[in-house]
Chains A and B, each alone.
Chain A
């Protein structure tokens, strides 16, 4: 029976270091199994987040030998070395050991205007064709493991960009909304100016790490970039819209339609303050 050394980073916000755990290899195990064996035998206080062990809950995200991966979907026999390094996701603040605080993602999620359909058909229903929604099915596979957010160098290596950048997971969300045949909101200016699509330099790391194999860059981010080009950088497209008088709801109108569903953004706060000031004067 061969042995494997698990080199796990352990610590909290005050600091940490690597701890080595030597175990026997067991055929068919995934990394999460080994971490559970360490918890059961060598380090009962080792913190790790997990739930389904089937690659569907997105809880056990970590970095295995430097690559963002799901621990439950990484087989031990696919790792070439006998010494395996596990660290928490680097992009997010540490809570303890392999557990990180991913609340940045929930803040960003609340900034996205929700699905806003137009008026229903005369019979009160909404109808759409299958080919109109096929494209977005891929995006709905997202399990919110946030590996794409973790690997994205825009916020991983330049944390200050977290203030202006939603990240790949939310570009997938925005693409699914923007491509929806019944949606009426024009989110392109929001995406360009406030959610930082321009920061993405399409190096495709998000696509490489996605455990659901969503083609994030090719099918979500680049189409969004092209839609933003339509609205902001292409004079011919702008002229075409003017001639056809094609208008969608603005983000502000969408918020007004669904105020209870969205957290007000910093922008709303500024405009509300401006209205208050006007009222007082």
Chain B
């Protein structure tokens, strides 16, 4: 029995301890008494996230077919490779208006760029729940025993670094600006003027989903107004907070939709760039 607090009040003078180690009820040695399919949700999470990581790794290391340029009268770049800041971009996406050629990086540009979205999603409050439950089994589901003997949560290195989520938010917002510019540039068909194709639509939807997902983030909600105690003295920030709150309630759905769509966007650009499919021009 260990005491962490003592009541030294005039009345009793007796200790009020936090007691540990006393017998607890229920059967011993059972991981859970749940009879429903509690394992289904973590299993789906593992499957989808593993599939995404496998695809993203393939796409990032391939280093080709990420830009559809003037030869096909298009201006489509994969979100995995934008902003295209590596030296190698110049060869593939040399005609892309947003290309900034970093001479120090000769590997796949995606390896440099993906640090930001990966860091943002890795420290995101929703994804933390998802991977703590599914990959780390801590706990796999409510009322199911934790898969580890000891537990320190996010109090120590490396998990204490989850607290830098807001800095990844700032960077992700910058990336969203770039992806929005990519979507706008996709309306430009080199040699054919302004138009709209399936690729343009895909890039626009992708940028919109990433904006909504990023803005619905808990850190964004806090910085926009959640940190205030007197909303009445900050009406503009209160409006922001009020607008973000319903989006924040759907953060999980937005996290999954934007994740899957960004992979589909890359896949579409990849298929068009490699000549497997043609980007249909709507008008």
The interface of chain A, by Cβ under 8 A from chain B, is: 9, 11, 13-18, 63, 65-68, 80-81, 85, 87-94, 97-98, 100-101, 103-104, 106-108, 110-111, 128-129, 131-132, 135, 151, 153-154, 156-163, 178-181, 183, 196, 198-205, 208-209, 215, 218, 222-223, 225-230, 232-234, 263-266, 269
Contacts and interface: CB of A to CB of B under 8 A. Distances in A.
Contacts of A229: 163, 165-166
Contacts of A160: 20
B33 interface: yes
A158 B125 CA distance: 22
Contact of A218 (B9, B24, B248): B248
A203 B129 contact: yes
Q: Which of A178, A179, A202 has the most CB of B within 10 A?
A: A202
Given A15-B23, A228-B163, A264-B6, 16 more contacts: A9-B26, A66-B143, A67-B34, A90-B25, A98-B25, A103-B16, A153-B151, A156-B146, A181-B232, A199-B152, A200-B153, A205-B139, A205-B143, A218-B251, A226-B218, A266-B3
Q: Which of B20, B32, B159 has the most CB of A within 10 A?
A: B20
A9 B132 contact: no
Contact of B33 (A66, A151, A202): A66
B261 interface: no
A158 B34 CA distance: 20
A13 B20 CA distance: 13
B153 A201 contact: yes
A72 B26 CA distance: 20
- Which bracket fits the contact residues of B? 35 or more
A157 B222 contact: no
Interface stretch (B81-89, B191-199, B200-208, B223-231): B223-231
Q: Is the interface of B mostly helix, strand, loop or mixed?
A: loop
Contacts of B138: 153, 201, 203
B25 A89 contact: yes
Contacts of A16: 25
A107 B125 contact: no
Contacts of B146: 153, 156-158
B160 interface: yes
Nearest to A106: B16
